[in-house]
């Protein structure tokens, strides 16, 4: 880190929580920052499930980078997909065969859905790691009810079964959101559909949902879901899914057109860094976020593997780690620019707790000093997530949408904006009604 000096060009790949926080920390400093991302906006991933279930508009959790940094003259943005790092030349190669040069590089590319090598699952199941994928889930689920109306009797149930794989926070929150739609919203729109046949399955390979939380939260989250009508299957995995039939590890077969995969993540590794610098699809970094064999390349967040006394196997891949690694690296750079190299600090993650919301008045919260659930946990979850939203305008939009849903038990965000599904899935009323 001692090589960083005023006027240097620091390129950050990825505008997720870590990359964005680093760029914000370096605003109006003595270095030139170039933020590179294949999207032109920051995505607030913890609320993707609310886009997928029609509760929030995509724009309310998306923040254009150029808008964020329009008053920061030392920060520029490039919309590009980086496909290769050329460390010997201090260059990056983009997908459209152009290069971006750097003095110092920060990799903050986050993670992607991990299908654990199951190509069939990857081809047929939905993932939810981008705003666009959340929109696609919303489109397909709503499209399923339109299709069910015209479907032959023997095909109807496949459109009415949703399988969510993975009982972590994403799977639990998404299951609860769909259960609330089933109970309070969809029957108002589709008077001729029997929603008692709408089944939401949550498949989890371990013994409990929210397996990384306390025993109380595990039990409470599963009970909340089951009270909502979610069919929770634990100690079972999804063995195969061909787009029509989901086969479980216990031999059960479920006809379904909708499988959402929320069972794991893996780091977004870019070609160009030697394999010896990578472990479990994460770049090996020291306590200052620097790759061990490089003086000018760093990694943050989900894609960084940092061993510390408290976390000898690396940090959890959660937003708070990325945010604080970005802050720590940024502050260390500022100290170096002020000739205070002796004051740079190593990073250690302080676990602030975990939380998950299941439905209205049902949530679980675990802080280091207290654990609670129910109504209070639900309010705390909403408040903390609202405070993390970047702009005041978006805070107000989200608060209004949540308030509207709370009092009316309804949403107005049920647009089917695009259909790109298989030809045989397109509705043909004349054919279906013969």
Residue 42 is inside which H or E element, if any? strand 41-43
Beta bridge partners of 205: none
Intra-chain end-to-end CA distance of the chain, in Å? 72
Residues 292 and 231 in one domain: no
Alpha-carbon radius of gyration of the chain: 23
Claim to verify: residue 119 and residue 82 sit in the same structural domain: no
User: What is the pLDDT, as a whole number, of residue 20?
Assistant: 97
Residue 121: HSE in the Cβ half-sphere, 13 Å Cα cutoff? 23
Same domain? For 182 and 245 the reply is yes
Whether the predicted pLDDT of 251 surpasses 70: yes
d(CA 374, CA 71) in angstroms, rounded, equals 42
The angle subtended at Cα 93 by Cα 91 and Cα 97, nearest 5°, is 135
Does residue 278 register a pLDDT over 70? yes
DSSP per-residue string spanning 278-326: EETTEEEE-TTSBBTT-SSEEE-GGGEEE--SS-TT---S-HHHHHHHH
Predicted confidence (pLDDT) per residue in 323-350, tens digit: 999 999 999 999 999 999 889 999 999 8
Q: Which of 323, 343, 363 is the last residue of a domain?
A: 343
Neighbours of 66 (CB within 10 A): 13
Shared domain for 54 and 127, answered yes or no, is no
* Same domain (yes/no): 243, 285: no
Task: Count structural domains, the chain.
Answer: 2
Nearest to 143 by CA among 432, 428, 429, 426: 426
Give the distance from CA 33 to its chain's centroid: 25
- Residue 219: CB atoms within 10 A of its CB come to 15
* 427 pLDDT more than 80: no
Do 22 and 129 have their domain in common? Answer: no
Q: How far apart are the C-alpha atoms of 63 and 43, rounded to whole Å?
A: 7
What percent of the chain has a predicted confidence (pLDDT) above 90?
80
DSSP 258-270: EEEE-S-EEE---
Token reading at 188:
């108002």
Pairing of strands 282-285, 304-306: parallel
Whether 420 is covered by a domain: the verdict is no
Domain housing 165 = 115-263
Same domain flag for 185 and 96:
no
Look at residues 89, 19, 53, 55 and name the one whose alpha carbon lies nearest to residue 323.
Answer: 19
- For 26-54, what is the mean pLDDT? 94
pTM above 0.85, yes or no: yes
């Amino acid at each position: 880190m001692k090589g960083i000096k005023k006027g240097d060009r620091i390129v950050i790949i990825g505008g997720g929580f870590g990359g964005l926080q680093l760029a914000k920390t370096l605003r109006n400093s003595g270095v030139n920052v170039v933020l590179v991302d294949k999207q032109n906006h920051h995505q607030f991933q913890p609320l993707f499930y609310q886009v997928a279930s029609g509760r929030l508009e995509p724009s309310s959790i998306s923040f254009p980078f150029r808008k964020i940094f329009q008053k920061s003259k030392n920060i520029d943005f490039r919309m590009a997909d980086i496909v290769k790092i050329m460390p010997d030349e201090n260059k990056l190669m983009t997908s459209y065969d152009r290069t971006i040069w750097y003095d110092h590089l920060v990799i903050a590319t986050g993670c992607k859905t991990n299908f654990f090598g199951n190509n069939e699952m990857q081809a047929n199941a939905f993932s939810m790691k981008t705003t666009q994928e959340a929109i696609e889930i919303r489109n397909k689920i709503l499209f399923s009810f339109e299709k069910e109306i015209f479907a032959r009797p023997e095909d109807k149930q496949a459109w009415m079964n949703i399988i969510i794989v993975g009982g972590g926070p994403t799977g639990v929150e998404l299951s609860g959101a769909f259960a609330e739609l089933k109970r309070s919203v969809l029957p108002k729109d589709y008077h001729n559909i029997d929603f008692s046949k709408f089944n939401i399955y949550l498949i989890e390979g371990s013994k409990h949902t929210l397996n990384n939380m306390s025993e109380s939260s595990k039990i409470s989250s599963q009970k909340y879901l089951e009270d909502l009508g979610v069919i929770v299957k634990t100690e079972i995995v999804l063995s195969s899914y061909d787009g029509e039939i989901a086969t479980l590890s216990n031999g059960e077969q479920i006809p379904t057109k909708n499988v959402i995969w929320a069972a794991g993540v893996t780091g977004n590794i870019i070609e160009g860094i030697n394999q010896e610098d990578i472990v479990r699809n994460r770049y090996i970094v020291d306590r200052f976020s620097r790759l061990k064999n490089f003086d000018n390349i760093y990694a943050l967040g989900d894609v960084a593997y940092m061993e510390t006394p408290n976390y000898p196997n690396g940090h959890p891949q959660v937003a708070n780690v990325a945010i604080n690694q970005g802050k720590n690296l940024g502050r260390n750079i500022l100290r170096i620019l002020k000739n205070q190299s002796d004051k740079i600090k190593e990073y250690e993650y302080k676990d602030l707790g975990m939380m998950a919301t299941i439905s209205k008045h049902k949530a679980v919260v675990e802080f280091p000093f207290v654990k609670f659930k129910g109504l209070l946990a639900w309010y705390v979850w909403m408040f903390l997530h609202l405070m993390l939203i970047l702009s005041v305008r978006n805070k107000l939009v989200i608060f209004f949408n949540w308030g509207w849903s709370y009092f009316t038990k309804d949403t107005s965000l049920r647009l089917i904006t695009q259909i790109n599904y298989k030809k045989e899935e397109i509705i043909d009323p004349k054919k279906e009604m013969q």
